[in-house]
């Protein structure tokens, strides 16, 4: 029968082993790292990231991070490179080779070929005295004392260190490029993160109904308007300006007090000075105002402060922002 008593201890030890190794990486950041970042930044080409085995998996993630933060990058598997894919390396490209040992057969074949083409090599290796470390133009040290694997065999701590070193490169380049949130949105137009940066209130209300009543309209008409427009709210409007708001909650509270509503009008139950937001505000700002004021809808105005619609919390949920 399996002994499950050590699961929590093993998990904690794995995390601590890896976190201590990552913290130690800071001791390896020196002018060599600085020069590697400068070289990539000043390069006219792309960054080609290569590796084999688990290092190749890490390489694909580093490529994704580079591309999403403004540094054009391409993944090239080290084994495929020596069987034709080396042709993807262009004259001005910089090549990052990732290898824990720095002495794998594929790396020993690949490195001289790259150097013959005249491309610079940045090594990310756990052994800077290896073949890769000695033949690279810039060697970034990702040495770890041991893997989290109890047999010290499965790449765990070492691959985490490689990934973090790649992140360090990407973030340094991001800052040098002055890569802004607006730039980030350009590369993430379909994701929730990107939408937080480019989606505006006007985009959210484009297909929404525009519920509105006047202050002298009957409560019956208010109820019909709220029900018909299906946003749980209506604005009370005079000459295109918002003078109040009535929510379905206001209707429920009114009915708990009295069922005699025939004499009531919108102005009798509306809330004055409702929260509003302009159409060109960011969608994330609408969410922040809703959260701050504990509301699920907010009225929208244009630059002339004319009422033009409603943003509902459901609109933000639908877009993946909330």
Segment of 92-101, 246-255, 256-265 carrying the highest mean pLDDT: 92-101
Number of helices (H) and strands (E) in the chain: give both, helices first.
15, 11
Question: For residue 255, what pLDDT is reported?
Answer: 85
pLDDT digits (tens, 9 = 90+) for 161-171: 999 999 999 99
Distance CA 210, CA 248 (A): 15
Which CATH fold would you assign to the domain 7-179? Rossmann fold (3.40.50)
Residue 59, pLDDT > 80, answer yes
Query: What's the average model confidence in pLDDT over 46-67?
Result: 96
Question: For residue 39, what pLDDT is reported?
Answer: 97
Q: Is residue 188 very low, low, confident or very high in pLDDT (cuts 50, 70, 90)?
A: low
Question: For residue 19, what pLDDT is reported?
Answer: 96
Residue 12, pLDDT > 80, answer yes
Region of 212 (left: φ > 0; alpha: ψ -120 to 50; beta: rest) is beta
Q: Where are the alpha helices (DSSP H) in 137-218?
A: 157-176, 181-187, 192-198, 201-205
Burial class (CB in 10 A: 0-12, 13-18, 19+), 2: exposed
Which CATH fold would you assign to the domain 198-318? CBS-domain (3.10.580)
Considering only CA atoms, give the Rg of the chain: 30
Residue 86, pLDDT > 70, answer yes
Residue 187, pLDDT > 90, answer no
Q: Tell me if 77 is assigned to a ligand binding site.
A: yes
Query: What's the average model confidence in pLDDT over 11-40?
Result: 96
Query: What's the average model confidence in pLDDT over 98-103?
Result: 96
Question: For residue 180, what pLDDT is reported?
Answer: 76
- The ranges assigned to domains in the chain are 7-179, 198-318
């Amino acid at each position: 029968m399996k002994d499950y008593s050590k699961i929590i201890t093993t998990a904690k030890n794995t995390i601590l082993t890896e976190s201590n190794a990552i913290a130690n990486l800071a001791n390896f950041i020196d002018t060599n790292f600085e020069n590697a970042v400068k070289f990539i930044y000043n390069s006219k080409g792309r960054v080609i990231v290569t590796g084999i085995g688990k290092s190749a998996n890490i390489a694909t993630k580093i490529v994704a991070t580079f591309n999403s933060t403004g540094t054009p990058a391409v993944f090239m598997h080290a084994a495929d490179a020596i069987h034709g894919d080396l042709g993807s390396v262009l004259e001005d490209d910089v090549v990052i080779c990732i290898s824990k040992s720095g002495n794998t057969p594929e790396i020993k074949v690949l490195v001289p070929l790259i150097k013959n083409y005249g491309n610079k090599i940045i090594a990310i290796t756990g052994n800077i005295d290896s073949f890769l470390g000695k033949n690279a133009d810039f060697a970034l040290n990702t040495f770890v004392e041991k893997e989290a694997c109890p047999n010290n065999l499965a790449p765990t701590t070492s691959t985490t260190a490689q990934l973090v070193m790649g992140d360090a490169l990407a973030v340094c380049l991001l800052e040098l490029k002055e890569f802004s949130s607006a730039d980030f949105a350009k590369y993430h137009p379909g994701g929730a993160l990107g939408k937080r940066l480019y989606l505006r209130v006007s985009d959210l209300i484009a297909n929404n109904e525009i519920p509105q009543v006047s202050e002298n309209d009957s409560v019956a008409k208010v109820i019909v308007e709220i029900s018909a427009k299906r946003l749980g709210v209506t604005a009370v409007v005079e000459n295109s300006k918002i003078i109040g708001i009535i929510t379905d909650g206001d209707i429920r509270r009114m009915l708990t007090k009295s069922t005699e509503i025939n004499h009531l009008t919108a102005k009798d139950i509306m809330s004055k000075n409702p929260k509003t937001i302009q159409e060109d505000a960011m969608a994330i700002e609408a969410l922040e105002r809703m959260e701050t004021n504990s509301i699920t809808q907010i009225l929208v105005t244009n630059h002339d402060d004319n009422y033009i619609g409603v943003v509902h919390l459901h609109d933000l949920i639908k877009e993946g922002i909330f």
